[in-house]
Every structure is written in C-alpha cells, then in structure tokens.
Structure 1
Amino acid sequence: MKKETIKQAVAPYMAELTKMADRIYDLAEPGLEEVRSSAILTDYLEKKGFQIERGIAGLPTAFRAVYEQGKGGPSFGFLAEYDALKGIGHACGHHMQGPSVIGAALALRDLCKDQPYKIVIYGTPAEETVGGKIIMKEKGCFQDIDLALMMHAAPNTCVDVRCMALECFYVTFHGVEAHAAMSPHKGKSAFDAALLSFQGIEFMREHVLEDSRMHYTVLDAGGPSNIVPGTAKAEYTLRSYSTDYLEKVIVPRFQDIIKGACLMTGTTCETERSYPFQAKIPCLTLNDLIMENARKFEAPQLAGPREKTGSTDFGNVMYDVPGCCIRTAFVPEGTAAHSQEYLDAGKTERAHEAIRSGSEILAGTCIDMIERPELLKQIKEEFRKRKQEETAKI
C-alpha cells in the first residue's frame, strides 16, 4: 500500500492521540497505579468500536481491547505501557505508547476492510517495577496473537535484536549477635556471609560466558561496628542474553555460593526471588520489515540495533511469540533515558511526531503482512528455528 494512503489514514486521529498522550504525561501515574491513564486509553478504544476487558490477569490497570474483521486471518498484537517513573514522571516516554499503537490499529482498521484479521491491544502496566507483562503471561495473556508489536520513544529510530534475561534475589542472612571486642567468639556474623557471597560472585565471573552480568548491593549491614551483626540483607541481580544459560548455569551456581557463604559463617538465610525476565528470541525478518517501513515513512535519526541492552518484560512475551518494538526518535542522539532531558521533551512537537511515526510504521508493517501472507509465515518459521537454537545452547 502506498505511503501517502497510510499517512492519510493516521492523520485524522493525531489531534486526539496527542491530547491523550499529553494527559497521560500530566497524570504521571507509577506502576500498578495507572488508573486514570488506563481509563483514558480504554474509554477511547471503546468509543472506536473495540471490545474491552478491563482489569485482566488480576491487574486492575491492565486491559485487552479487540477488533476483529472476518475470521481466520492473522492476529496482530499491539502492546502499550503507560507507567511513569516514581518521583520523576514520564522520563521514559511511556505516555506515547498507547496513543501510537492505537493510531496504528485505527489506520489498519480503516484501510483493510475486506481481508480477515484481528487486532488485539494489550494494556500492560508496571514495566518499570514488577514487570506487568510477566504476570499477564503467567495468567494466560498473549496466547491469542500471532506476533507482538510495540512502540517506544528513543534517541534514534531503530529496533533491538536482543535483551538480557534477568533474575533478582533478595537474601536475608541470620547470624548471632555478640560484643565485637569482649565475646566475638560467641557471635556469627550475618554480614560476613553477605561479604563472602560477594566474593563468590567475583570469582564466578571468570567462569561464565562473557556477556553475563552480575550486580549486588547491601540493603542492611546489621548495625554498629562494635556488635557482631546478627542480620544482614543483600540484593543480587543476575543477567544473561540467554534465558536457558541464566536459569541452568548462573542461577544454580549463585544459589550454591549463598549456601557456601552460610556454611563458612555458621549462619542461615532466607531468599526471596523476583519474577524472572526472559531474553527476547529475535526475529530478523520482522525487524527488517519494520525498518523497511521506517525508511518508507522517512522516520528521523535512523540507526542500527543497539549493541548493549538491559532487560524488559517484553522479553517474556517475545520468548513465546515473534515480536519487535520500533523505537522512534524524539530527543537528540545520545540522550539518556530516565533523564530530565527525556522528561522535558515529553510534550513537545517532536514527541507528537514520534507518536505519528510509530503509528505509520506499525500500520504499514501489518498491512504488508496482510497483503503478502508469506511474510508472516517466514517470521513464524524463523522464530521457531531461533527458539530451538536458544534452548539447545546448554
């Protein structure tokens, strides 16, 4: 389909979409508290004829919106975040995501009236905190889509090939308090156990794959230095670009390090484990198709995939279905996310243009797959092979 046709389909909605984005920006609701932000998106979608389910997966601010044209066609999943950073506000651009994917969905609906397909928009809260998509996936969400698409504002227009799997542990060590000068022999230092665990991680670094990452910090050191610490708390974050490698190699070795630290100090511990973030299974066919559309719509500041990435709950979705997030430029190259510069740019004309650009690129990508069904078959086949390769690494 011609570029101008898709542009003309997005254009009539832009005033409403940017107004929504600006309202969500002003609300700046943090994860799991996005009550009004979620309502802004669902109320608008309901008025546009989408079937709405609110509060899905036990999350009051999560939602599912569906529009179906005929039967038996592809099911396009659009995912949107809308949580702000607590204490900062929308310094990661999440307020733009819902309006941008809605623009893509409406353009797709208006332009493709004869072919069968389904649009499923998932509102996914709390990406910055608990990872809402992880909880939603565990409750059965995302099983009704053939692929997952997102938009994220960024310093460049690009796609990512990968992200890191992540596991976070909170460990409380229990020892025995004693006077550090007069009766240290009666004490068992919980803080010593924490320090030994840190040393164990340092020695482990040399013997894992080079792209692994391990971080730790002390949450509670136990009190004044003249008392043998009876309690100490530490936080550990473990990462790898391979979910299987993280779960089958790094995590078991970390758990042995914690046990060993307790054994050496005569202490005990309690461990709390967070929701696991999985690594993306990349699909280069889909990435290429999206970037082809980014060039077609003359998106600004085009760039290749980022060499280094962190972790995202979108990885858990992309571990099960092909997916891609188009990052659309709205700040100067090199600008850091979660910064004042991101925050200041959130309601500018460039931010509004990033919303439009994301809508056009995602709509164009889906229309390509409707007009050329072999593309979706190629995407699914590549995903199947790459997942087999991922799970065969260990």
Structure 2
Amino acid sequence: MKELLFNEGQNLKEVLCEISEYIYHNPELGNQEFKSSEKLISFLEEHNFIVEREFLGLKTAFRAVYDSNKPGLTVGYLCEYDALPEIGHGCGHNMIGTMSAGAGVILSKILDQVGGRVIVYGTPAEETDGAKVIFAEQGVFEELDAAMMLHPSDKTCASGTSTAIYPLQFRYKGKTAHAASCPQEGINALNSVIQLFNGIDALRQHVTPDVRMHGIITNGGVAANIVPDEAVAQFYFRAAKKETVMELVEKVKNIAQGAALMTGATLEMERFELPYDDLRTHENLSEAFNENLRILGIEDIEENEDFGSSDIGNVSHIVPTIHPNIGISNCRVIGHSREMADATISELGHERLLIGTLALAYTGYDVLTNKVEL
C-alpha cells in the first residue's frame, strides 16, 4: 500500500513544489494569510476534501475533511503558513503547510480501502497568536487519534520537546510633572518598569536552567523633561514544562506588584499573546515516522535540541502528536533567517518537501492500519 502512496506523491511533486514556492513568494503575517490559506484550500478541494473556511471565526483558518464513511481512526495534519516580518518564510511555513496538505491528499487516495478519516487543519499565526491554542481550547483536536506536522531545518531531527511560554504585559501608570521644576509632584511609571527588570534579573539565580525570561520596554515616556505617567513592558516567560512556567509567572507578578509599590504607580497585567504549552512527543508515533524516513532514504536522524516554543505543544496535551524536523540544507542555516527561507525553495528543499510529505502520509497509513500503538 505504501507503494501506492509513493506513486501518488510522485504524481503530485510538481504541484507541491509550486504551492510551496507560491506561498514563499507571497509572505503574509499571522491572521493575514489570505493568499496562502486559499492556495491550500483550493488544492484540498480539488482532491475532494470538504472544507470549512474561516473556521472558528478565524478569517484564515480552515478545517478540511476527507471521510471514507467506513469505520476507522482519524488522522490530523496541521498546516502553518504565516511569515515573519521583513524576513518572509524564514521559519519554513511555506513548506509546513504544503507538506501537511500534501500528506492529507496522498493519504486520502487509499482511505476508501482502509477506512477512517483524514483531517487537514489550517492553523494561522503560529509565530504570534497561534490558532492551535484556540482550536485546543474549543476541543477541536479531541476528534483525532493522532496529529502530525513536519518542520524544515538545517538537519533532520526526531520529534522532541518545545518549551512552554507565557507572554505577559506590564502597564504602569503614574503622574506627569515637570522633571526639573517640580519632580516631587510626579509619579514615575518608567521607574517601576526599571525596578521590574531589576527584580526579574535578581530572580534569575533562583530558577532552574531551563527557564528563559526576556522582555522589552514598549513605552517608556515621551520626553526627558516630563515625568512619564505611563510605561509598558512585555515579557516572554519560558520553561521546559507548563507547570514550571505557571509557578514562575506567579513569582514575577509579585515582583511586578513590588515595583509598583516602590514608586506609587498603579499596575495592570495582562497576556498580550496566547500562551503555548510544552510539546509532549508520542514516542511510538515518533518512531513510526522515523522508520518511514529511513524507508525513504533519510537515515541520519538526530535528537532534537530545539529550545523554542510552538502552539503544537497545546495539541500534544490532548492527542498523540509529533513535530519532527527535516533537513533542507547541507550546511549550517539558522531559523528565522532569509537563508532558511531561500533553502525551502532550493533543489534540496524541493527534494525534501516530497520526502517529508510522503513520510507524513506513510505514518498516517500506519496509524489507520493500527501499526502504531497509540
């Protein structure tokens, strides 16, 4: 049966490369991916998927289903297609969306024989307000037996972990005054932000090595001779586990309150983006995917040491999930770079696009035929 899947992939290779290049040449930021999502939707509809556009009210999200109408399991593939500011597809989402949609289509060609369903999700804005978080909160992924996506990189790595992340904004409000003639009449909101940074820096020696805390000041006042009455900082707090992040956030909130008390400012705290959970790789599903890569000629599969965050982590807390990497360069190329974007449409990038798509489809077949213990 995998030979049939392989042949279907060969038939689609030119189309898949064209879709990936189209998305590469039309980079769109999160929740603005109108061209990219429509390109993927059109491809899926051409292959008899039933597509729900603007899924859950998100303008560039979709849910595409091919149902054999026979008993069986349900396999899900996750598409990403948002780009980065100025860099374009430096994270390779043009390939991610194409491989997931392509795997869904290839697997659908044998679905009437083996039973079950395949669902392809269009999940916008992974780089900012990841739609997978919203999908997860709405219970969407509970309809799946397995979820998969594949990320381009400079080397091929097994699905591993990702860090949980909690984005938190601190807005301090004080009182303006002339900074020279009557500073005593003012309440300096910027001083609160500075004390916030100092407090967080002091906390660094009392956290575990996996913790990351990094922030910026987005508003620090308007003129040097005016006591700032408002100052705003935004931070990302990360750790290997969601539970660690939430404990960390509570400590930081206390620091933030203390910074307000030191100056007399008031404080408002809120999430400015959606929080991502840590990725929990399903090891049986991961090994099935790795074996399929080996069948397709990629034997050098490294351990994943990525320390980034992704909204697929939220998916993995609900359903067996994998998020491996496939190498698209013969030399060191860092993520979120123009070089990575260009690698996605290189000759090797196109070769690995097909291999990655087939490996996803093969693994989906293994799930549907109960070759993987979930």
Fold shared, TM-score > 0.5 on shorter chain:
yes
Matched residue type, 2:313: G
Count residues with an aligned counterpart: 373
Structure 1 runs (4+) greater than 6 angstroms displaced: none
Separation in structure 2 between the aligned mates of residue 41 and residue 180 of structure 1, nearest angstrom: 57
Q: How does 1:87-102 map to 2 (within 5 A)?
A: 87-102=86-101
1:129 CA displacement: 2.1
Q: Which residue of structure 2 lines up, in the alignment, with residue 382 of structure 1? A: none
Q: Which residue of structure 1 lines up, in the alignment, with residue 185 of structure 2? A: 186
Separation in structure 2 between the aligned mates of residue 73 and residue 202 of structure 1, nearest angstrom: 53
Q: Which residue of structure 2 lines up, in the alignment, with residue 256 of structure 1? A: 254
Q: Which residue of structure 2 lines up, in the alignment, with residue 104 of structure 1? A: 103
Separation in structure 1 between the aligned mates of residue 341 and residue 164 of structure 2, nearest angstrom: 27
Alpha-carbon deviations, 1:101-141, whole Å to 9, x = none? 23322332334542222100001111112112112323332
Separation in structure 1 between the aligned mates of residue 290 and residue 371 of structure 2, nearest angstrom: 18
Residues 59-68 or 205-214, more deviating? 205-214
1:38 touches 1:61 (CA, 8 Å); kept in 2? Answer: yes
Separation in structure 1 between the aligned mates of residue 197 and residue 100 of structure 2, nearest angstrom: 43
Q: Which residue of structure 2 lines up, in the alignment, with residue 37 of structure 1? A: 36
1:173 touches 1:190 (CA, 8 Å); kept in 2? Answer: yes
Q: Which residue of structure 2 lines up, in the alignment, with residue 267 of structure 1? A: 265
**Cα distance change of structure 1 residues 26 and 70 upon mapping to structure 2, 3 Å threshold:** same
Separation in structure 1 between the aligned mates of residue 144 and residue 211 of structure 2, nearest angstrom: 31
Give the match's secondary structure for 1:114.
helix
Alpha-carbon deviations, 1:207-239, whole Å to 9, x = none? 222211111221122133333322211111111
Separation in structure 2 between the aligned mates of residue 162 and residue 364 of structure 1, nearest angstrom: 23
Q: Which residue of structure 1 lines up, in the alignment, with residue 283 of structure 2? A: 284
Matched residue type, 1:278: D
Separation in structure 1 between the aligned mates of residue 132 and residue 265 of structure 2, nearest angstrom: 37
2:75 touches 2:368 (CA, 8 Å); kept in 1? Answer: no
Alpha-carbon deviations, 1:249-287, whole Å to 9, x = none? 111111111111101111102223131111112222222
1:326 touches 1:358 (CA, 8 Å); kept in 2? Answer: no
1:100 CA displacement: 1.5
Give the match's secondary structure for 1:245.
helix
Separation in structure 2 between the aligned mates of residue 184 and residue 324 of structure 1, nearest angstrom: 57
Separation in structure 1 between the aligned mates of residue 279 and residue 345 of structure 2, nearest angstrom: 30
Q: Which residue of structure 1 lines up, in the alignment, with residue 51 of structure 2? A: 52
Separation in structure 1 between the aligned mates of residue 331 and residue 282 of structure 2, nearest angstrom: 25
Q: Which sections of structure 2, spanning at least 5 residues, go unmatched?
A: none
Give the match's secondary structure for 1:142.
helix
Q: How does 1:102-251 map to 2 (within 5 A)?
A: 102-247=101-246, 249-251=247-249
1:10 touches 1:106 (CA, 8 Å); kept in 2? Answer: no
How high is the sequence identity, in percent, across the aligned residues? 35
- The reply on whether 1:10 has 2:33 as its aligned counterpart is no
Give the match's secondary structure for 1:206.
helix
Q: Which residue of structure 2 lines up, in the alignment, with residue 342 of structure 1? A: 340
1:178 CA displacement: 2.5
Separation in structure 1 between the aligned mates of residue 346 and residue 26 of structure 2, nearest angstrom: 16
Residues 338-347 or 146-155, more deviating? 338-347
Q: Which residue of structure 1 lines up, in the alignment, with residue 83 of structure 2? A: 84
How large is the RMSD of aligned CA atoms in angstroms? Answer: 1.9
1:70 touches 1:115 (CA, 8 Å); kept in 2? Answer: no
Separation in structure 2 between the aligned mates of residue 317 and residue 253 of structure 1, nearest angstrom: 27
1:374 CA displacement: 5.7
Residues 153-162 or 96-105, more deviating? 96-105
Separation in structure 2 between the aligned mates of residue 209 and residue 306 of structure 1, nearest angstrom: 20
Matched residue type, 1:62: A
- Alignment TM-score, normalising by the size of structure 2: 0.94
Give the match's secondary structure for 1:334.
coil
Alpha-carbon deviations, 1:336-357, whole Å to 9, x = none? 1121212222322222112101
Give the match's secondary structure for 1:52.
strand
Matched residue type, 1:354: R
Q: Which residue of structure 2 lines up, in the alignment, with residue 61 of structure 1? A: 60
Matched residue type, 1:60: K
2:74 touches 2:368 (CA, 8 Å); kept in 1? Answer: no
Residues 59-68 or 18-27, more deviating? 18-27
1:57 touches 1:141 (CA, 8 Å); kept in 2? Answer: no
Give the match's secondary structure for 2:149.
strand
1:5 CA displacement: 4.5
Separation in structure 1 between the aligned mates of residue 128 and residue 103 of structure 2, nearest angstrom: 27
Separation in structure 1 between the aligned mates of residue 342 and residue 106 of structure 2, nearest angstrom: 29
Q: Which sections of structure 1, spanning at least 5 residues, go unmatched?
A: 380-394
Alpha-carbon deviations, 1:343-393, whole Å to 9, x = none? 22232222211210111111221222333x262xx33xxxxxxxxxxxxxx
2:278 touches 2:313 (CA, 8 Å); kept in 1? Answer: yes
Separation in structure 1 between the aligned mates of residue 102 and residue 222 of structure 2, nearest angstrom: 55
